[in-house]
Amino acid sequence: MDERDSSESPIQGKKSNSKTARKPKETVLKQKSPAEFFAENKNIAGFDNPGKSLYTTVRELVENALDSAESISKLPVVEVTIEEIKKSKFNSMIGLVDRERVDAALYDDYETEKAREKRLAKEARTQEIQAKNATLGKKVKETPASKGIKGRGEASFYRVTCKDNGKGMPHDDIPNMFGRVLSGTKYGLKQTRGKFGLGAKMALIWSKMSTGLPIEISSSMENQTYITFCRLDIDIHKNIPHVHLHEKRENKEFWHGAEIQVVIEGNWTTYRSKILHYMRQMAVITPYAQFQFKFVSDAPDKNVTVRFARRTDVMPPIPLETKHHPSSVDLLLIKRLITETSKQNLLQFLQHEFVNISKPHAERLIGEMGPDFSSKMAVKSLTSQQVVRIHQLFRQAKFDDPSGHCLSPAGEYNLRLGIIKELNPDMVATYSGSAQVFEGHPFIVEAGVSIGGKDVKQGLNIFRFANRIPLLFEQGADVVTRTALKRINWSNYKINQMQDKIGVFVSIVSTKIPFKGTGKEYIGDDITEIASAVKYAIQQCCIQLKSKIVKRIQAREQQERKRNLSRYIPDAAGAVYNVLKDMTQLHSSKKSRYGDDDDAELLRKVSEKLITKETLIEKLAKHVEQVDYEMAMEYATHSGVSEEPREPIYIQSLEAPNKTIDLHAPFFVFRVLQ
C-alpha cells in the first residue's frame, strides 16, 4: 500500500465512512398495504375533499344497499340519514374538552389591526356610496355580509347512516368485509354497481383520517334470530380490521338487512344539491325502490326530508356471472384461468373457460396452434411460449359475439316510469337497444327523451347512468353529453334545442364499463361502438317524439283554424240573416219571381221566424266543426299518421296485494278490490 494512502487524515476517513453509511438508507425497500395506498391516494376512490367525501360515502352505501336487496329479489327500501354534528358535540364524543383561545394570532382566521382598519374603511366607503345612490333615487344593492376567514381546524362533521332490507352479512365475515381493502363479493365477470371492494372501506378510511372514530354495523340475514353488531376500524399499515366490539343481539322484530353508521368530516353546504340530485336520479333509474332521505341539524330550518316512493314492483333480472370472451383476455388472465381451472386437458379448458367456443371450434383452434399442441395435452403443462401462442390466436381468430343474457338493464318500462315519476314531463319516449359488443364485452344502451316537466331547465338536461348508477361529475367529456350536443340535429325532430325543456336519459350496462380517469365518473368518447349505439338510441326516441309533436302541432293548427272561423260566425250569420229579411219583403211583393221552390220555403221560414239569427249561428258552427274534422282526417291520412294502438293499463296498488276482479273495457281495465 502507498504511504499516501495509509497516511490519510482522520477527517477524510470520517467523510468516506459517513458516505458509505448513508447508502443502505437510500436503497431500503419499502412496501405499502392496499389500505395505506388508498389512504394516500383517496382521490382515486372519489374522496377528493370533505364535500366530495360526504357525497361519495352516501353513494357507496346506497349502492351497496340496492345490491344487497336485489340479490335476494326483494323490493329495496333504503333509508339514508345525515346528521350534522357541531364541534362541541364532536369533542364530547371523543372525550375532548373545549378550550378557549389564548393566543389568537396563532389561528388562520386571525385579523391584524391593519387588516381590520382596511376592512372597516372599505365598508364605510361602500355605505357612503349607497347613501348617495339612495338620495338620487338609484337602486341600492344589498351589502354582502362580511365573511371571516375559515380556519382549517373548523371542520364540519356528519354522522351518515344507511339502512336497507337486503340479505345482510354473515356474522364472521363482517370484520373482513369492512376492515380489509380489496376484499369483496363482487369480483368476477358480471354487471355490478361496484367492482373493487372499496366502497364502505374507503368511508371507514376517511373516517379514521378525519375523525378517528370507528364504523358501526348492524346486520341480520333472513330467518336469523339474532342481529350482529360490530364496531371496528382499520389498521391502515397492515390492511386488517381492528375490532372494538363484535357481538350477537336479540332480533325481536325478525328484521333482515344491514345498517351502517359512520362519522366523517364533510361539507353539506356545497354538496347538498349534488347529494339530492343523486338521490333523485337513483329514483329515476330504480323506480321499484323506495328511498327516504333525511338531513338533521340543530337548526330546524336546515332540516331536509325527501321521500322517493316506489312506483312499480317490476324488478330487472339479477345479472348473471359469465365467462370471458376469447377476444377480451390478456396473457395474465389466461395464465390465471389455467391455474384456477378444474379441467384436465386443453380441449376441455377451451370449451368450459370461455364463451362461444364449442367442441368443434376448440378442436379447430388446437389444430391451428401447431404440432406442439393436442386436445388431450394437460393444460397445467403449458409453457409460457405456448400460452403466448394461444393468446396470439385468440386475438387473430374469429369468434361469435357474446350475448347480452348476462346483463340486467333497467328496462324501458322502469325507465319510462322513473322519468314520469320524477320529472312529470309533457311527453316522453324510451328505447332499449339490443346487445352489442366492444373488445369482447357485451353492452346494452337504453335511452329516454322527455319534453317539459317540473324542475327542468330550458335546453338540454342530460342524465347519465352506468350499470344503473347515476354519473354526476365530469359531464363535459362524456360520450352521452358529446353525442347529445354535437351529433343530434334536434330541429329535424321538431324540437327546439334552446327553448324546449329537454331531458336526455342514457343508461349503459356492461360487464366492463370503459370509464376514463380514476374517478370513474364518465365514459370516453373514443369507443366507436358505444358512441354509435348512444346516438342511435337517442335518435329512436326523437323519432317517437316527432310523431307526437306533429300530432300536437296538427291539433294546435286545427284549434287555431276553428277559432278563426268561429270568430266570424256571428257577423256572417247576422249579415246573411239581414239579407234574408230584405228578400222576404221583396218576395211578398213579387211572388212570381220565386214560385214554390225551396227558396220560397226558406223565405217563408224566415218571415215566420222559424229561422232566426241564432239558428244560423248554430248551423254555421256545426258546419265549421264538420269541415274542420274532415280536413284534419284528410291531412292525417296524407301524412301517414295513424291512430296509436290501444293497450290495457293496469293500476296496481302500492300496498299489500289484495284479491281483485278485473272488468275489461275496450280502452281500460277496472280492477275492483274484493
Q: How far is CA 639 from the centre of its chain?
A: 38
What is the spatial distance between Cα 62 and Cα 76, in angstroms, rounded to a whole number? 10
Q: What angle do CA 394, 396, 399 make, to 5 degrees?
A: 65
User: Is residue 368 within 8 Å of residue 397, measured between CB atoms?
Assistant: yes
- Is 195 annotated as a binding-site member? yes
Please choose, from the candidates 449, 460, 391, the residue with its C-alpha nearest in 3D space to the C-alpha of residue 420.
449
Q: Which residues contact 364 (CB under 8 A, 6 or more apart)?
A: none
61 known ligand binder: no
Do 239 and 205 contact (CB within 8 A), yes or no? Answer: no
Q: Which residues contact 610 (CB under 8 A, 6 or more apart)?
A: none
Distance, CA of 476 to chain centre: 16
For 669, residues 6+ apart whose C-beta sits below 8 A from its C-beta are 648, 649, 650, 662, 663
Q: Any binding-site annotation on 13?
A: no
Q: Can you read off the three cell numbers belonging to residue 257?
A: 338487512
467 is in an annotated binding site: no
Is 17 marked as binding a ligand? no
Task: Tell me: is residue 454 an annotated ligand-binding position.
Answer: no
Secondary structure of 29-40 in HEC code, one letter for each residue: CCCCCHHHHHHH
d(CA 432, CA 444): 8
The annotation status of 199 as a binding-site residue, yes or no, is yes
150 annotated as ligand-binding: no
Picking from 257, 200, 204, the residue whose alpha carbon sits closest to that of residue 59 is 200
323 is in an annotated binding site: no
Backbone torsions φ then ψ of 292, nearest 5 degrees:
-130, 120
CA 392 – CA 369 distance, rounded (Å)? 10
- Residue 166 counted as an annotated binding residue: no
The verdict on whether residue 194 carries a ligand-binding annotation is: yes
Question: Which residues, listed in sequence order, are joined to residue 443 by a DSSP beta bridge?
Answer: 436, 510
Residues of each annotated binding site: 64, 164, 185-186, 194-201, 520
Indicate the annotated binding residues for ATP: 64, 164, 185-186, 194-201, 520
